[in-house]
Structure 1
Amino acid sequence: MTRTKICGLTREDDLDAAVAAGADMVGFVCGVPIETPRELAPDRAATLGERVPEGVTSVLVTMPETPEAGAALAERVDPDAIQVHDYSPDEVAALADRTDARVLAGVDAADDDLEQYANPADALVLDSTDEQGAGGTGETHDWERARAVVADLDVPVLLAGGLTPENVAEAVRTVEPFGVDVSSGTERAGGVKDHAAIQQFVERATAPRTVTT
């Protein structure tokens, strides 16, 4: 079954709604050099992370300047996993050496060297990135290209970028990813989730797919 990650959570009731909907992973944005309504202070991210029940993976989504800074932030927030963007494969490896958290590498779907991330990262988050290397753009990318990446790489791949309750079922059918990752596509305002949209997203992402012969 396709895993689901609800990212950019800022409020307890939104977190609870994601968990109640059956999300496998929940993401908290902290320590990014861009302006976003989803940004949390480290202590706030840690507090929300403590609320995540066993069986649901808490993910710190960040863009630290160095692997050392990333490891220090992860120690402070104490997530199950840390997701970094705009990192080289060597930086991902260095971060993995410095933290007990699983390391997810946010990568641009258009890049040609993604296989270099397969060894150091525990998973890839295949996204549309902006000029600063950040994801969360709300823009879709080439799903056929994403399907090839999923098929070629021996590492779990989460599909991100412009996903919504309306298109996630098609995305899953086309790409067949390990999981799907959504942020703005389940919001009613920046950093504020639409609980019905979260429920619909999880249901449609995980609905059994018809197999044709």
Structure 2
Amino acid sequence: MTQVKICGIKTIKDAKVAIDAGARYIGLNFEEKSPRYLTVQDAAHLSAFIVSEGAIPVGVFTHHDAEKIISIAKACSLNTVQLHGENSRLANKNLPSDLKRIYIVEFDELGNINNIDQESFKKLDKERDYLLFDSTTPGTGQEAKLNKKNMLSDFRYFIAGGLNIDNIQAKIHEYQPYGVDVASGVESIRGIKSQTLIKQFTYLAQALGECYVANN
């Protein structure tokens, strides 16, 4: 079954709806400029609830260095971190081995992968970590121009970038990912989740995902 990650959850009520619908991963955003930003205190409370419901909280980091990522992960009891921004991806090489990574790989408008820091990338473990293929402007709802020829398929991977209830099944059919990641595609307005869209998106993703033995 295709795994679903709902990113930018800010309330227990929305987390409960997502988990009950079948989402396995819940993204907690630590980017201060994002409308989905959570304080460490609020994220710790939400993370505890997510774990109690049997799902996986994921800390989403952008400009944060390794020391900050480790500090927040410890405060929020996070075992999985999403390295979304350039600085946080560079921090990968200094993170402890017990933290699972979801490492963002950006595709440009031509379907080419943006420059990857090889030293940081080589620290990934394909048995532990995941890739997430996205556009160069993540979190905006812009559709990612993914190119299957450029995908690093040795890793389990998520896809993101402009996913919504209208295109999710076609995207899963085309890329057959381990998981899908959505934020703006399940929002009524930017930063505010629609519980109806969360339910519809998760149902559609998993209904088609059952048809595949994906790359997991």
Moved >3 Å (runs of 4+)? 87-90, 112-116, 208-211
What's the CA shift for 1:190?
A: 2.6
1:204–1:47: structure 2 CA closer, same or farther, 3 Å change rule? same
TM-score w.r.t. structure 2 length?
A: 0.83
Aligned pairs (5 A) from 1:59-208: 59-87=58-86, 91-97=91-97, 100-110=98-108, 111=113, 116=118, 117=121, 119-120=123-124, 122-130=129-137, 135-143=138-146, 145=147, 147-150=148-151, 152-208=152-208
Given that 1:118 and 1:153 are in contact with CA atoms closer than 8 Å, whether structure 2 keeps it comes out as: no
**Deviation at 1:115?**
9.8
Structure 1: which 5+ runs fail to align? none
Deviation at 1:96, TM superposition (A): 3.9
Q: What secondary structure sits across from 1:5 in the alignment?
A: strand
Shift of 1:80: 2.7
CA RMSD in angstroms comes to: 2.3
Do 1:106 and 1:124's aligned partners in 2 also have CA atoms closer than 8 Å?
yes
Q: Which residue of 2 aligns with 1:45?
A: 43
Provide the aligned length of Structure 1 versus Structure 2.
200
Residue 129 of structure 1, CA deviation: 2.5
Query: 1:4, CA displacement in angstroms?
Result: 0.5
Give TM-score scaled by structure 1 length: 0.84
Is this contact kept in 2: 1:157–1:179, CA < 8 A?
yes
Shift of residue 174, structure 1, vs aligned partner: 0.8
SS at match of 1:207: helix
Per the TM alignment, residue 76 of structure 1 is displaced from its structure 2 partner at its CA by 1.2
List gaps (5 residues or longer) in structure 2. Answer: none
SS at match of 1:28: strand
CA apart distance, 1:5: 0.2
